[in-house]
């Protein structure tokens, strides 16, 4: 008996190590969007709302593909779904090459949607798989640890992307508008070419990772797969803690992405940080997303001792207060208070996710699909924040993310309480 337990522990640790590589990759690729926003904004002379269509295209994939991906898990299992996601991600990354070759903004958006479709499949499979990969009482801690590695991808992406993609100083708006149409297109092709090599390397790496995952023997998780439970999807909405978690994921992701997407442009404002784009991208990576990474490592340890609800409530309250502080101040205080939000964002996704799927047993895969669908908040709230930035200024546009954090606080203290019918076996 002891030998079997030891073998299971070893198998679970190996599987968790493999999972962390997947969390890193989708964190890295998601965060590259924050580099693409200012890059494509300058190339195509976009306003904030138009530039935020990058996030709309990317995160819309979660709405379209999450529930179908949950069905795919029920048919082919977690491991094959992850491999499928990696192949789709590789295809999406490689599509950046023709999009850059013709300097087409719509083609960039299409490539982002394909890439995000693959990430969606990966998230729907990997998040619940990590959550059930061991004792239920440590699910939040385990998922926080995996999300910490995800944050490592977020941390390194702006720095690498800033060096490779944002290194050249773009032409100003007035200079762009003075160019003849053929010169303007030539300029756009030249500037867009900086994404070709990074995304080619990423595409090849993703394909290689997919092959490795396909050959690795991950332990099966039949208890978390539905396999024929009739009417399960329809019954999910009867679980209050899950339904409110869907809203929680929607507003949390929307707030985090809105802040991350606008942060480079925010930090270069003369009255805020007056930084260069490259330095701003580095600060976003190492401080905003680096703070999230540190917070998740700390959170992984804290959640073994403190309740998930308590940790989530404190994090949401602090994030809201920091956003409000940034809006009410200027200079270094405004800059650093918004950057510090990343630290408190750290525990929100894994905490909401594990509270949302708690005690759902064979409905876990379908519940995961719904929760990952809610990541579409990253497609809705950032453009809405960009719309506000175009009208009331980027400084005060963060009012919308502040409201989002208020809801997360409510979910932590009340909405996450388990209510609903018995789970079918």
CB distance 107 to 77 below 8 Å: no
Cα dist from 90 to 105, 112, 280, whole Å:
20, 11, 28
Residue 132, pLDDT > 80, answer: no
Domain count, the chain: 1
Judge contact between 69 and 81, C-beta under 8 A: yes
Give the Å distances, CA to CA, from 357 to 149, 226, 309, 328. 22, 14, 14, 37
Q: Is residue 84 part of a domain?
A: yes
Residue 129 has pLDDT above 90, yes or no: no
Q: Is 171 left (phi over 0), alpha (psi -120 to 50) or beta?
A: beta
At 231 the pLDDT is 46
For the segment 45-57, the average pLDDT, to the nearest whole number, is 86
Q: Which stretch of 131-140, 152-161, 219-228 has the lowest confidence by average pLDDT?
A: 219-228
Residue 2 has pLDDT above 60, yes or no: no
Which of residues 258 and 292 earns the better pLDDT score? 258
CB-neighbour burial class of residue 132 (10 A; exposed 0-12, middle 13-18, buried 19+): buried
Confidence of residue 111 (pLDDT cuts 50, 70, 90): very high
Say which residue the tokens 């595409």 belong to: 203
For all residues of the chain together, what is the average pLDDT? 83
Residue 396, pLDDT > 80, answer: yes
Task: With a cut of 90, say whether residue 207 has pLDDT above it.
Answer: yes
Is residue 394, in this structure, part of any structural domain at all? yes
pLDDT, residue 378, reads 87
> Would 90 be classed as within a structural domain?
yes
Quick one: which of 416, 417, 405, 418 has its CA closest to 314? 405
Instruction: Tell me: pLDDT of 91 over 60.
Output: yes
Check pLDDT > 50 for residue 210. yes
Q: What is the mean pLDDT of residues 386-407?
A: 94
For the ranges 124-138, 309-323, 362-376, the maximum mean pLDDT occurs at 309-323
| 376: in domain | yes
- Res 121 pLDDT > 60: yes
Instruction: Quote the pTM value.
Output: 0.73
How much is the pLDDT for 227?
46
**C-alpha angle with apex 65: 370 to 216, nearest 5 degrees?**
90
Q: Are 334 and 272 in contact (CB under 8 A)?
A: yes
* pLDDT more than 70, % of the chain: 87
Residue 226 lies in a domain: no
Task: Give the residue numbers spanning the domain of 72.
Answer: 2-216+232-415
- State yes or no: pLDDT of 177 exceeds 80: no
pLDDT at 1: 44
What is the C-alpha separation between 37 and 56, in angstroms, rounded? 11
Under the banding of pLDDT at 50, 70 and 90, the label for residue 284 is: confident
Is residue 423 in some structural domain? no
Q: Which pLDDT band holds residue 198 (cuts at 50, 70, 90)?
A: confident
HEC-encoded secondary structure of the chain: CHHHHHHHHHHHHHHHHHHHHHHHHHHHHHHHHHHHHHHHHHHCCCCHHHHCHHHHHHHHHHHHHHHHHHHHHHHHHHHHHHHHHHHHHHHHHHCHHHHHHHCCHHHHHHHHHHHHHHHHHHHHHHHHHHHCCCCHHHHHHHHHHHHHHHHHHHHHHHHHHHHHHCCCCCCCHHHHHHCCHHHHHHHHHHHHHHHHHHHHHHHHHHHHHHHHHHHCCCCCCHHHCCCCCCCHHHHHHHCHHHHHHHHHHHHHHHHHHHHHHHHHHHHCCCCCCCCCHHHHHHHHHHHHHHHHHHHHHHHHHHCCCCCHHHHHHHHHHHHHHHHHHHHHCCHHHHHHHHHCHHHHHCCHHHHHHHHHCCCCHHHHHHHHHHHHHHHHHHHHHHHHHHHHHHHHCCCCCCHHHHHHHHHHHHHHHHHCCCCCCCCCC
Assigned token pair, 415:
């909405």
Per-residue pLDDT tens digits for 230-277: 445 557 788 888 889 999 999 999 999 899 889 988 998 999 988 888
Considering the domain boundaries, does residue 421 fall inside one?
no
Per-residue pLDDT of 333-361, as tens digits, reads: 999 999 999 999 988 988 898 888 887 77
The predicted structure's pLDDT at residue 215: 84
% of residues, the chain, pLDDT over 90: 32
What pLDDT sits at residue 20? 82
Residue 221 lies in a domain: no
Is the pLDDT at 110 greater than 90? The verdict is: yes
Residue 405 has pLDDT above 90, yes or no: yes
pLDDT of residue 352: 92
Comparing 102 with 220, which gets the higher pLDDT? Answer: 102
**Higher confidence at residue 385 or residue 75?**
385
User: What does the pLDDT read at residue 92?
Assistant: 93
Residue appearing with tokens 């606080």: 409
**What is the C-alpha to C-alpha distance for residues 160 and 170, in angstroms, rounded to an integer?**
18
CB atoms within 10 A of CB 212: 13
CATH classification at residue 58: 1.20.1250.20
């Amino acid at each position: 008996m002891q030998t079997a337990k030891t073998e299971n522990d070893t198998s679970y640790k190996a599987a968790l190590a493999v999972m962390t590589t997947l969390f890193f990759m989708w964190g890295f690729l998601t965060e590259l969007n924050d580099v693409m926003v200012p890059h494509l904004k300058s190339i195509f002379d976009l306003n904030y709302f138009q530039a935020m269509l990058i996030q709309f295209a990317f995160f819309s994939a979660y709405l379209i593909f999450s529930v179908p991906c949950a069905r795919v898990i029920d048919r082919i299992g977690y491991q094959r779904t992850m491999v499928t996601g990696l192949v789709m991600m590789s295809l999406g990354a490689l599509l950046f090459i023709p999009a850059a070759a013709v300097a087409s903004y719509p083609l960039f958006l299409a490539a982002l949607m394909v890439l995000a479709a693959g990430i969606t499949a990966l998230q729907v499979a990997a998040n619940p798989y990590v959550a059930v990969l061991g004792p239920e009482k440590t699910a939040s801690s385990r998922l926080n640890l995996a999300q910490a590695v995800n944050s490592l991808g977020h941390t390194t992406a702006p720095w690498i992307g800033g060096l490779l993609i944002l290194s050249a100083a773009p032409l100003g708006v007035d200079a762009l508008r003075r160019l003849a149409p053929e010169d303007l297109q030539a300029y756009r092709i030249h500037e867009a070419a900086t994404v070709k090599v990074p995304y080619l390397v990423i595409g090849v790496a993703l394909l290689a990772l997919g092959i490795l995952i396909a050959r690795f023997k991950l332990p099966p998780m039949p208890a978390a797969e539905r396999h024929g439970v009739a009417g399960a999807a329809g019954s999910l909405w009867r679980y209050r803690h899950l339904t409110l978690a869907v809203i929680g994921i929607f507003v949390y992701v929307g707030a985090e992405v809105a802040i991350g997407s606008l942060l480079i442009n925010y930090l270069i404002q003369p009255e805020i940080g007056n930084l260069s784009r490259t330095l701003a991208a580095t600060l976003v990576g190492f401080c905003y997303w680096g703070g999230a990474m540190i917070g998740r490592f700390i959170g992984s340890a804290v959640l073994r001792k403190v309740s998930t609800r308590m940790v989530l409530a404190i994090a949401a309250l602090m994030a809201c207060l920091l956003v409000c502080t940034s809006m009410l101040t200027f200079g270094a205080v405004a800059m650093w208070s918004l950057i510090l939000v990343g630290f408190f964002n750290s525990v929100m996704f894994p905490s909401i996710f594990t509270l949302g799927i708690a005690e759902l047993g064979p409905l876990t895969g379908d519940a995961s699909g719904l929760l990952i669908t809610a990541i579409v908040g990253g497609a809705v709230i950032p453009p809405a924040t960009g719309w506000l930035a175009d009208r009331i200024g980027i400084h005060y546009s963060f009012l919308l993310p502040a409201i989002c954090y208020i809801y997360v606080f409510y979910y932590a203290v009340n909405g996450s309480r388990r209510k609903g019918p018995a789970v079918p076996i």
